[in-house]
Amino acid sequence: MSIPALAWARGVKTGSTSAKCVLFVLANYADPTGKCWPSQDLIAREAEQSTDTVQRRLRDLEEAGLIERCRRCRGGGRGRGRTADYYSCRCDLSRKLRHWPPAPTPTAKPAT
């Protein structure tokens, strides 16, 4: 679990509650660098969504630039089938593209 990734996911606007839930599951499994590889079935169970919905939300999060997905194959891609995709939470990119962290509040000017 990565506390920074969970804090990042909490502050990001995804535009959808189901996408936010998927993002939280990914952040929960992220290592300290923001990388994780849970299966779509595991994400679906923990997010309480169908696998089809999870697939659509992963695509939405990827298109929004919030995650990066790398498809992986067993045996180095020699026809032995797919395994869980590798995901990377794009914490640095979201800070540039989204309104996170929130803008600082103006400080009061000292009375003269």
Residue 16: inside a domain: yes
Question: Domain count of the chain?
Answer: 1
> Closest Cα partner for 56 from 89, 12, 14?
14
Closest by Cα among 24, 29, 25, 28 to 11: 24
Q: What percentage of the chain has pLDDT greater than the value 90? A: 50
Decide if 85 is inside a domain: yes
Least confident of 18-22, 32-36, 51-55, 69-73: 69-73
Q: Tell me the CA end-to-end span of the chain in Å, nearest whole number.
A: 50
Domain span including residue 47: 3-97
Looking at residue 25, which CATH number applies to its domain?
A: 1.10.10.10
Q: What is the tens place of the pLDDT at every residue in 27-38?
A: 999 988 889 999
Asked if 40 and 58 count as a contact pair (C-beta separation under 8 A), the reply is yes
Task: Assess if residue 26 is contained within a domain.
Answer: yes
User: Is 110 a member of any domain?
Assistant: no
Residue 28 falls inside a structural domain? yes
